[in-house]
Amino acid sequence: MFARQVQLARRISLFLDGNENYELLAKTPGAVGDYDHTHIVVLFRAKDNEVNGELVKRINETRKVYVSGTKWEGRPACRIAVSTWKVDVERDSKLVMEVLEGVFSP
């Protein structure tokens, strides 16, 4: 169960780190593509400050994914905590990525 949770968090981190709209936070400096430090919590924010200010609301309004708000270096950020025994890495990573991409769709 824990291994699946970690795999999902790492897959989400990989997606965010390679996405032009998002900034993956709390990562090891200079360790591009290395997510060994990621376990079940993923911190991120939108690169666009206007979107970032309402990112938690936009994501949670989908009612498909829940994120909590936090601050990183004094700016708003989001936290995903993968904490369910029902994790299906393929299904859930697809769902999360669709929601995160949808935040930037008109």
Estimate to the nearest angstrom the gap between the alpha carbon of 49 and the chain centroid.
17
φ, ψ of residue 90 in degrees (nearest 5): -65, -55
Please give the single-letter amino acid code of residue 6. Answer: V
Domain 2-102 top-level CATH class? alpha beta
Q: How confident is the model over 7-27, as pLDDT tens digits?
A: 999 999 999 999 999 999 987
Question: What are the domain boundaries of the chain?
Answer: 2-102
Q: How confident is the model over 63-92, as pLDDT tens digits?
A: 999 999 999 999 999 999 998 889 999 999
Q: What is the pLDDT of residue 23?
A: 94
Average pLDDT, the chain: 90
**Strand pairing class (68-72; 75-81):** antiparallel
Banded model confidence at residue 30, pLDDT cuts 50, 70, 90: low
- pTM, two decimals, is 0.89
